[in-house]
Amino acid sequence: MVIFLLVLLLSLIIFYAILQTDFSGIVKFFLVVIEMILVSQFLVRRYKLPTEMGFILLKSDKGIGLIDKFSRMREGWQFFSDVGSTLSYGLLSLFIMRRNTSWKSVLLGLTLLCVISMVIAPFSIIFLKKVLVGATMLEKNGAFNSIGTENIALLSFVLMLLGGFFAVLLLSIVYYGLFVFAQIILFLLGSANTLSATTPGGTLLLPGVNLPFLEGLIAILVIMVAHEGSHAILARIAKVPIRSSGVVLFGIIPVGAFVEPDEKILERKDATSQTRVLVAGSTANFISSVIFFLLFAITVLILKSGLVGTSADFGYQLFHFIYITTGLVFSLNFVVATVNLLPLPFFDGYRILEINIQNKNIVKAVMLITLGAFILNFLPHFFSAI
């Protein structure tokens, strides 16, 4: 125990020292990653902890009873997941769910799709741009100027109705990936400043690096509990056993929660049941985003009312902490919900396509195109750091 506490203390000191340096966000990120890899390896070997892909898994069966209690509300949770399928895939969800869904869930899903796209999505972008430290994420770029704002809005609305947030995000990433690829070609042809002047299409969101540390950790905890908990509840409704649940650590940093359903039994279930289990995670994040946006709006009104004093007062500081925390929870829930729908390895979106499209060559092609575009969106970070 003494050695563990010493390692924990030393890791915290080094972590804090890295965050206080004047290095760029990308350099800080890689330094933290190296530190946490070393810490993870030490803890795994010293204490024989279970691990997967470098992450430490702290397993327990204590949460399974609570999951079983929630899963008794079978029809309610299935309706919840069906609404989420429409939120995620728009009218395409009718084919994905093989019409095993009600008109009520489709109508509610389309309504929430419009509300989230018009309110939650823009406010999450505005909030993240205010909070992010040293990042250029989500700024308007010249790549879209040639299309026109009105045409983008109309195209996005049609895409959203037909394919939900999945279609809008996927095509946006592919389009911007092609734009970055064109800039690379120009760079290779001799236009030296082309890539360094290109805004990245995304950035990593890391507590302590480009997000407030404590507020960011709270947001991640809420996101993962909602996401993994919903997976677990729908799995139990589908009669799939839950082996364990627990917390995921990267070194000393809690980066998520997990549930461990019996994958072999889940894979033998019908496509609709599997899809409900998989889409439940993003559904929970979308709904959490709406709930915490309302709490965020209330906090903003309280701060602006002057009821909690000025910035020097404890009441104001407390509500400012709540403001940052609820803001991160609602905005990051939205980001995680949408990004999780992408057909990328280890993402739920990939497995949903794999289950519902029989031709695996099509699934693989879509995955490779998405992966290439995803990498291209992040590539300008490395050129701007040079």
| pLDDT number for residue 355 | 95
| pLDDT number for residue 277 | 97
| pLDDT number for residue 266 | 94
Question: Region 182-201: what's the mean pLDDT?
Answer: 80
Give how far Cα 49 sits from Cα of 41, 71, 141, 149, Å.
Answer: 10, 30, 46, 52
HSE value, Cβ hemisphere, 13 Å, CA-based, for 55: 15
**Distance (Å, rounded) from C-alpha 218 to C-alpha 127?**
17
Question: Region 247-258: what's the mean pLDDT?
Answer: 82
Cβ-based neighbour number of residue 235 at 10 Å: 28
| Residue with the larger pLDDT of the pair 163 and 3 | 163
| pLDDT number for residue 138 | 43
Per-residue pLDDT for 379 more than 90? Answer: no
Strand partners, 206: none
| pLDDT number for residue 199 | 83
Residue 139: band (very low, low, confident or very high) from pLDDT cuts 50, 70, 90: very low
| pLDDT number for residue 149 | 60
Question: Region 29-37: what's the mean pLDDT?
Answer: 89
Full-model pTM? 0.86
| pLDDT number for residue 346 | 86
Residue 129 one-letter amino acid: K
Quick: pLDDT tens for 40-57.
Answer: 999 999 888 888 878 898
Per-residue pLDDT for 282 more than 70? Answer: yes
Residue 204: band (very low, low, confident or very high) from pLDDT cuts 50, 70, 90: confident
Quick: pLDDT tens for 295-339.
Answer: 999 999 999 998 888 878 888 999 999 999 999 999 999 999 999
Question: Region 237-260: what's the mean pLDDT?
Answer: 86
| pLDDT number for residue 296 | 97
b/e code 33-62 from CB counts within 10 Å (16+ = b): eebbeebbeebbeeeeeeeeeebbbeeeee
Phi/psi of residue 211, nearest 5 degrees? -130, 150
- What's the whole-number average pLDDT of the chain? 88
pLDDT > 90: percent of the chain: 57
Per-residue pLDDT for 152 more than 80? Answer: no
Per-residue pLDDT for 68 more than 70? Answer: yes
| Residue with the larger pLDDT of the pair 319 and 23 | 319
| Residue with the larger pLDDT of the pair 312 and 363 | 363
**Contact 199/136 with Cβ under 8 angstroms?**
yes
